[in-house]
Structure 1
């Protein structure tokens, strides 16, 4: 994760020479891609990466006028914010407030997937009643400083829609900014209605760790229950509380992510992919795929090329 381009600050950032910067990093790579929202409203960019191998640690940085929200999708991440260690797991979000110095510590960035949103604060973009309401929402989010919360599944899903969308044309940043506004509003609403959740149950953490180790094979919710060492009822309750969605929906989303990758990187038929991922039929697969992606598997394969993957355009190969 590198939401802001540290090179623009003029020197490498370290504890002794931290140079604040508010210049967003908009450079996509083969395993990390970023959607430029064009500065419409407060939202500057949405990014997602998939690191298959550990990466160099994120250097210490600080943004005087930017809010950073980071959502782990797979894997456990550890940030150091203003000298305090803040681990973040799937189903949670870390809010890095403007003016907070943060990094990923001295160790490498772990393999996994992370989604993030970068937004400006202040009133430079405010123009009209809706903007003023959104400014108030963002102000409420940062009022408590940098922290880790439970993340509503809807917030994550809306941001995933942004990173999976076509980025060309005038409509794209307008549509993306609208989804970001809904995502941030849902995050603020959920934070108002519930107290900060208790730490993730160790059994749920065991299940997620086991899932990361078996990501390439067919896995059912029963396997997760077994890996957790919990009863089915207790596991479903704790998993939904911690991750923000049911085990069934979480597994379905992972299968759709894998399907997007296979549709672009292989010549397997849609039926073969459906069966390989445990769907009972290609019709069931197509219905689920359209629900998450907004188009059929065939349309997706036609519209997204291998070149898009190599440029980091498609969200499932970050």
Structure 2
């Protein structure tokens, strides 16, 4: 069996279970929220909910699911009788702060969810009520499996728009992709964006979610890790071609991010690879592929 290095946007994202619900609300109960940075999955067990998510308006009946992805205001109201529902909130984060769940393309209303899916949701909620480390980890695992089943059955990830950001910031992102080995810094990126360095740094963080140099460092490390796995270049050559001052600087940064030195990472691949990994190159995705960015910087 091969040891496969899993890189790219989705493999490098982390799943967070943020909250669980197991509640009964009275008739007329209503909650209105501004756009939230997290997603929600709710299974109605009794009664009916009216839900608005941006321009979408649905009524959710018993046995049906409502999925609220981030990016739009949301309103939830109990109709006519007490409503029982269970569910959870979650985030999928890239580089620690870029929210990916808005890219999943799942419809708001799932009218006939599979029993396997509703079972995963109920189990996640049940386990999430526990306080132990095992309960927390199990709840997150079941919630992530439920989310994966939703994406597999209903998601439209491949058709989500790649970016929603200012053209100036996109110009800087393109420069990063094209010139990883270059001597890039905030002033040079700001020149590409035709902005002052201070304004550029503020706008970049607001739109992308991390400072520009942190984003560039993450991209360099991701691409360098792919080069370690897929080529026979020396560590020194990889460091130079990916913008690191020298092999020692590259090694320290790599170990901070991935937990082991580049040489050890490659040794592990060589030791475990028995199925021709080197003959199966895979295209490395840049850290921001598919990332939606709200145009919040004016």
Pairwise TM-score range, normalised by the shorter structure: 0.3 to 0.5
Question: Greater CA radius of gyration, 1 or 2?
Answer: 2
- The structure carrying a bigger strand percent of its residues is 2
- Specify which structure has the bigger relative contact order, considering alpha-carbon pairs within 8 angstroms and separated by 6 or more residues: 2
After TM superposition, the score normalised by the length of structure 1 is: 0.41
